[in-house]
């Protein structure tokens, strides 16, 4: 009898332990150990920062979508020696650039720095799914590039996005961009979740580092659109230097088609691309009730037509679900404001940066809590998005390795390594997602999952 009571006690304790583990432990924390080394900015005389040859040659060329549906493109570049021409020649034949469009020029000063001449030109009424060649700097040292417009918006249009965040311009940044370009699963457009140059991490917010970053990424940004999200390193608010206009360098250099979606600010806007409706939000602009961003998002979400664009993707900078002690809970107030909308409208995935590591969540929400009911823990929710933190581009601040323990249940996979991701839409129901660390070969997937669309095929992916 005594033996039986001991056995019963043992089984009871075992059951309690298993229950505790099930309630406290989450998914997988990667066992991969990255060689410890400091993230160092590449020197200014690095090949990747080289100024193109020729007098007043265009540099820092980058493109982004120029309208709501992908029939326009914004082309931006800088001329350093003089203003030069803001005209773009373009056409569908490399031998005959039969069209032209004239842009506008802007400049800015920041403390003891004066920018070059920053050109922005929008090409409109482009054909879908067409390769265009374009030329800039036509008056002195012309340079020619190309891009491919997206397919016409539709529910079963396949399309592949790359996802990069918190890139910077270190040796690790160069590895990230190289891995993205060499990835056998070719991205057609980059969804960039904020923190571009990290110029503000240098003395006096050294804006020369905005120029070097623009030249560094040109090998990708001149040929495919990057969809821009503003991060905290774009704020550049420095009253001690007499600079009190937030986002000044970013706003002058990186234009987006915010007016096309009815936004009043370039920090929040939306576009449609292939079978995706992409919403960009601003973690560092006001989003409380009755603010412009709040009212815009409240009006925007009901406009999303899942019969036309089944995939609803949100980009923002500060993550809402983060089990890293680095920037822990910084996105909480925005989550409180908007998470119930994300669940109501069945957002498929939210990409964020800010935390210099990688993490993927389960489909969870924390919308039941009402102060008095005590239901303040995230719970599984099939209508909720997957939250992916991908602030692991390679910036000068290095990796965020200090993770909370135990790993919470909402966290499916996490790892402190630099890398990038690919989101490959197959049709209205399925998309394949993969994350690849820089330390592996180009084809190696460190984390992956099949996404099932929340509107058309809302089954549990974990099964």
- Strands 159-164 and 189-192, sheet pairing: parallel
Residue 144's H or E segment, with its range, is strand 143-148
Distance CA 69, CA 260 (A): 9
Annotated catalytic residue within 327, 354, 356, 420:
327
Instruction: Tell me phi and psi for residue 211, to 5 degrees.
Output: -65, -45
DSSP state string for 242-283: TB-STTHHHHHH----GGGGT-SSTTSEEEEETTEEEEE--T
Tell me the C-alpha to C-alpha distance, in Å, between residue 95 and each of 106, 127, 144, 317: 31, 18, 11, 42
User: Which 3 state secondary structure label does DSSP give 12?
Assistant: helix
Rounded Cα–Cα distance for residues 190 and 63 (Å): 11
Do 64 and 108 touch, CB atoms closer than 8 A? no
Residue 6 designated active-site: no
- As a dihedral over the C-alpha atoms of residue 443, residue 218, residue 164, residue 303, rounded to 10 degrees, the angle is -120
Residue 427: how many CB atoms within 10 A of its CB? 16
Answer whether 354's CB lies under 8 Å from 391's CB. Answer: yes
* Token reading at 103: 């842009």
Task: Determine the Cα–Cα distance for residues 430 and 413; give it in Å rounded to an integer.
Answer: 21
CA-closest candidate to residue 324, choices 445, 200, 417:
417
175 sits in which H/E element: helix 171-182
- Write out the DSSP string of 380-408: E-TTSPEEEEE--S--TT-----B-SSPP
Q: Kindly list the catalytic residues.
A: 327
């Amino acid at each position: 009898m005594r033996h039986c009571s001991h056995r019963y006690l043992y089984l009871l304790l075992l059951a309690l332990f298993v229950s505790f583990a099930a309630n406290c432990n989450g998914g997988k924390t990667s066992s991969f150990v990255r060689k410890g080394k400091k993230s160092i900015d590449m020197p200014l005389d690095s090949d990747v920062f080289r100024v193109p040859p020729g007098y007043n040659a265009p540099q820092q060329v980058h493109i982004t979508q120029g309208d709501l549906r992908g029939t326009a493109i914004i082309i931006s570049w800088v001329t350093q020696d003089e203003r030069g021409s803001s005209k773009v020649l373009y056409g569908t034949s490399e031998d005959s650039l039969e069209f032209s469009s004239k842009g506008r020029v802007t400049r800015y000063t920041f403390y003891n720095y004066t920018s070059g001449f920053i050109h922005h030109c929008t090409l409109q009424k482009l054909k879908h799914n067409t390769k265009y060649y374009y030329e800039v700097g036509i008056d002195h040292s012309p340079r020619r590039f190309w891009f491919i417009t997206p397919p016409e918006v539709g529910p079963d249009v396949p399309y592949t996005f790359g996802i990069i965040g918190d890139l910077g311009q270190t040796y690790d940044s160069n590895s990230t961009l190289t891995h993205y370009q060499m990835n056998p699963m070719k991205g057609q457009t980059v969804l960039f979740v904020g923190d571009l140059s990290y110029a503000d991490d240098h003395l006096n917010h050294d804006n020369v580092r905005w120029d070097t970053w623009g030249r560094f990424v040109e090998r990708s940004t001149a040929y495919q659109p990057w969809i821009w999200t503003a991060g905290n390193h774009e704020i550049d608010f420095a009253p001690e230097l007499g600079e009190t206009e937030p986002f000044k360098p970013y706003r002058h250099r990186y234009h987006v088609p915010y007016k096309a979606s009815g936004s009043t600010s370039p920090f929040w806007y939306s576009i449609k691309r292939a079978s995706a409706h992409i919403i960009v939000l601003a973690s560092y602009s006001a989003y409380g009730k009755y603010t412009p961003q709040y009212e815009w998002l409240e009006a925007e979400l009901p406009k999303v037509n899942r019969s036309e664009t089944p995939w609803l993707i949100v980009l923002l900078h500060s993550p809402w679900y983060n089990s890293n002690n680095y920037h822990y809970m910084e996105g909480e107030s925005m989550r409180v404001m908007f998470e119930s909308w994300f669940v109501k409208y069945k957002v498929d995935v939210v990409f964020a940066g800010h935390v210099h590591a990688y993490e993927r969540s389960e489909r969870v929400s924390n919308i039941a809590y009402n102060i008095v009911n005590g239901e303040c823990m995230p719970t599984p929710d099939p209508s909720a998005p997957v939250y992916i933190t991908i602030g692991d581009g390679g910036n000068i601040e290095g990796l965020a390795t200090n993770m909370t323990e135990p790993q919470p249940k909402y966290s499916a996979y996490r790892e402190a390594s630099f890398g990038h991701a690919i989101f490959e839409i197959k049709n209205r129901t399925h998309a394949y997602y993969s994350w690849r660390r820089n330390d592996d070969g180009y084809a190696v997937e460190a984390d992956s999952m099949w996404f099932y669309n929340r509107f058309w095929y809302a089954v549990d992916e974990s099964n």
